[in-house]
Amino acid sequence: MTVLITGATGFLGSRIAHELLLTRNQQVIALGRGGLADLRDRVVTAIGLHGAVPGDALLRLRCVTGDVTLPRLGLTPALHARLAGQVDSVWHCAADIALGGERERLFRVNTQGTAHVLAFMDQTGPACRLVHVSTMAVAGSRPDGLVLEDDLTDVHGFATHYAASKYAAEQLVRQWAARRARPAVVLRPSLVASDRPLPDSAAEHPLAQLGNMVKVLVEGGAPGLPPAADRPPGTEMRMRIKASPSATFNIVPSDYATEAMVRIGHDAPCRDTGVRTYHIVHPTPTELADVLRAFERLYTGLRLECVEEFDGASVTELFIARYLTGFLSYCWFRHRFDRTHALADTPGLPEPAPVDARFLQRALGFDVLPASSPG
């Protein structure tokens, strides 16, 4: 079986490509940007971070230079047609995941990019399966309640252009499947995180990015906040952030998310027609307060308080509000995610590890807890 995958150099795409290549023994074609030799190096390095890639697996890996923002995925008409005739499934993982990114770019990569993948699907045989990687963020700014896997609505609006662009992409997938009477699998992971240290060359996950941003802020300083080296030890840094104190996130460990996605997108039998959507989420949401406590435990003197109204914000607080716009835009909700489809198609898969204080601390990029900290 031959799988074409986009986004194989990314945090999630590289994990999926690793599983497809090594545990499912597939022929994998990785479509990505850049010159061929450089692309192959980046794909092999990214996949290799998840376990050794033996020579026979490397022989089953092929790379193709392309760009999802371009018509025909940037392929020549001949290569586009040839690849479409070869593949048994297409995993579309490539995306721009910048939460605070600009609208035009996010729609170009995430929505238009999906349209180009669907045009590729049009050229494939009827049995070729599409696995589209979406996100829980398509639930939008729904304040609370249970989001079902079949739900797809824009009535609540979207906190970020990222969420809106991925919603629009899912709509395209549904329209395509209905128009062509073809099946498609849509996977909606929540915030995927790893509690293992990542080498500098690895693609980061959003929690690690958040940890780095706060580190830069607290250690390097910000308007109104001197760098750590210029502050007397133990200086209190009391800051308010504009967020709901009762907000929750869904954070799902990458090991579980990858295995669930591959079992659903690859191992489970393909339905004849129609879109089947799956929430790849943790059964227990994480409180925003627990994420903030993780930062406070690391930085002595740091006190973070959530406020819904921002009266008389200090220059530092205003800076943080701008600097962390993407993250803070998700700090208002308490919605939860139904897992009926995901549980039905992953029988026997153990539940994900708990996202506890230790997991959070490591996922945020702080490998070692201070000795006095609770686990």
For binding to ligand NAP (CB under 6 A), which residues are involved? 6-7, 9-13, 32-33, 67-69, 93-97, 109, 113, 133, 135, 166, 189, 191-192, 203, 205-206
As measured in angstroms, the least distance from the Cβ of 124 to ligand NAP is 18
Q: State the minimum distance, in angstroms, from the CB of residue 73 to ligand NAP.
A: 8
Nearer CB in complex with ligand NAP: 126/283: 283
Q: Looking up tokens 């659903």, which residue turns up?
A: 264
- The least CB distance from residue 96 to ligand NAP, in Å, is 6
Nearer to ligand NAP, 204 or 356 (CB): 204
Residues 352, 354, 356, CA angle at the centre, nearest 5°? 150
**Minimum CB distance to ligand NAP smaller for 138 or for 320:** 138
CB nearer ligand NAP, residue 9 or residue 316:
9
- As measured in angstroms, the least distance from the Cβ of 13 to ligand NAP is 5
The minimum distance between CB 160 and ligand NAP, in angstroms, equals: 11
Nearer CB in complex with ligand NAP: 201/372? 201
Is the Cβ of residue 254 or residue 316 nearer to ligand NAP in the bound state? 254
Report the 3 state secondary structure along the chain. Answer: CEEEEECCCCHHHHHHHHHHHHCCCCEEEEEECCCHHHHHHHHHHHHHCCCCCCHHHHHCEEEEECCCCCHHHHCCHHHHHHHHHHCCEEEECCCCCCCCCCHHHHHHHHHHHHHHHHHHHHHCCCCCEEEEECCHHHHCCCCCCEECCCCCCCCCCCCCHHHHHHHHHHHHHHHHHHHHCCEEEEEEECEEECCCCCCCCCCCCHHHHHHHHHHHHHHHCECCECCHHHCCCCCCEEEEEECCCCCEECEEEHHHHHHHHHHHHHHCCCCCCEEEEEEECCCCCEEHHHHHHHHHHHCCCEEEEEECCCCCCCHHHHHHHHHCHHHHCCCCCCCEECCHHHHHCCCCCCCCCCCCHHHHHHHCCCCCCCCCCCC
By C-beta, is 206 or 326 nearer to ligand NAP? 206
Point out the residue whose Cβ comes nearest to ligand NAP.
Answer: 10
- The CB-of-95 to ligand NAP minimum distance in angstroms stands at 3
CB-nearer residue toward ligand NAP: 316 or 329:
329
CA 282 to chain centre: 14
Nearer to ligand NAP, 104 or 219 (CB): 104
* Shortest reach from residue 252's CB to ligand NAP, in Å: 8
Q: What is the closest distance, in whole angstroms, from the C-beta atom of residue 133 to ligand NAP in the complex? A: 4
Q: How far is the CB of 113 from ligand NAP (least distance, A)?
A: 6
Is 72 exposed, middle or buried, given 0-12, 13-18 or 19+ CB atoms closer than 10 A?
A: middle
